[in-house]
């Protein structure tokens, strides 16, 4: 725990979390991803809606909070725009890109409106999204064992990579020249979440599409971000936040006893890592000390 600390002491943070949840009853419902928007100094949080639901029911939304996690707009966007179950997100100064059951929403942040929707044909369980330096978007399809690409230039959609070696891809993180994939693990029974082994941390070369294992059998991995030289990854099934060193090949539990932790995001200017929990309808904020 010497590299991470909860912003408040444990005795203080638990009542505050309860108060924050009570203050915005209904604002969080199976929150899935938190992303930081520096220009507006706010966090955006996606909500599956209806519990841990993957239904195409038009009952999902995005919540907006301030830098400390206080709710600004419980339903910033979504219900009227018929988001089904928004999950993974990636953000730029101008746009918020949101994964949904059938594809990806492009949200104009200043206008607070959906300006485009990119359908991903054949998508089975659209989950997370990452952006390359040139603006290309890469989207994981959990059950499809595939990654889609949305071209920055043409906005054409293609199945960029489909392979059992992706081991049920979940969380995505973009680095220079490669896509880092946090895998759930090979499914032992199709259509379920049961795996034959724990998922690996993978690297996919953007040019050759070669898949390389960075760290083996890390967990049933949900989301991934990076602070300094370490990846911070949530293990949804075991309820852990893991710090993974890709050089030493170590995987260290930083927080345990969590209730289905989901996609994290690191806000470098704040030194804060934020991630929701499906099981408690909360977003947790963790101070990361990159110097250690």
Q: Tens digits of per-residue pLDDT, 237-253?
A: 999 999 999 999 999 99
CB 126 within 8 Å of CB 141: yes
C-alpha angle 107/137/202, rounded to 5°? 130
pLDDT digits (tens, 9 = 90+) for 215-226: 999 999 999 999
pLDDT value of position 240 = 97
- pLDDT tens across 50-70, in order? 888 888 889 999 999 999 999
- Within 10 angstroms of residue 1's Cβ, the number of other Cβ atoms is 9
The CA distance from 128 to 275, in Å, is 14
pTM value?
Answer: 0.91
Whether the pLDDT of residue 9 is over 70: the answer is: no
Residue labelled with tokens 């709710």? 71
Is the dihedral angle over the CA atoms 67, 140, 98, 21 positive or is it negative?
Answer: negative
**Residue 143 is part of which domain span?**
4-288
Q: What is the mean pLDDT of residues 126-155?
A: 97
- Look up tokens 């909500």; give the residue: 47
Number of domains into which the chain is organized: 1
Residue 1 has pLDDT above 50, yes or no: no
CATH of residue 185: 2.120.10.30
Q: What 3-state DSSP class applies to 13?
A: helix
Q: What is the pLDDT of residue 80?
A: 73
């Amino acid at each position: 725990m010497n590299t991470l600390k909860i912003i408040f002491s444990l005795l203080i943070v638990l009542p505050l979390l309860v108060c924050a949840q009570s203050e915005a009853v209904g604002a969080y419902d199976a929150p899935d991803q938190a992303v930081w928007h520096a220009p507006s100094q706010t966090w955006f949080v996606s909500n599956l809606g209806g519990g841990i639901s993957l239904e195409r029911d038009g009952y999902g939304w995005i919540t907006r909070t301030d830098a400390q996690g206080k709710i600004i707009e419980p339903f910033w966007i979504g219900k009227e725009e018929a988001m089904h179950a928004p999950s993974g997100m990636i953000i730029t100064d101008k746009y918020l890109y949101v994964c949904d059951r059938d594809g990806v929403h492009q949200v104009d942040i200043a206008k607070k409106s959906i300006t485009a929707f990119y359908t991903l044909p054949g998508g089975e369980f659209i989950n997370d999204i990452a952006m390359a330096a040139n603006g290309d978007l890469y989207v994981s399809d959990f059950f499809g064992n595939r990654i889609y690409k949305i071209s920055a230039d043409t906005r054409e959609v293609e199945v960029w990579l489909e392979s059992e070696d992706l081991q049920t891809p979940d969380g995505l993180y973009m680095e220079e020249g490669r896509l880092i994939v946090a895998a759930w693990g090979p499914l032992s029974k199709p259509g379920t979440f049961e795996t034959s082994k724990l998922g690996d941390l993978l690297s996919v070369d953007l040019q050759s599409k070669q898949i390389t294992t960075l760290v083996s059998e890390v967990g049933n991995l949900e989301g991934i971000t990076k602070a300094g030289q370490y990846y911070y990854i949530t293990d949804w099934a075991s309820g852990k936040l893991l710090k993974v060193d890709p050089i030493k090949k170590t995987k260290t539990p930083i927080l345990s006893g969590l209730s289905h932790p989901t996609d994290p995001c690191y806000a470098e200017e704040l030194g804060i890592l934020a991630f929701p929990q499906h099981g408690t309808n909360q977003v947790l904020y963790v101070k990361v000390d990159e110097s250690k």
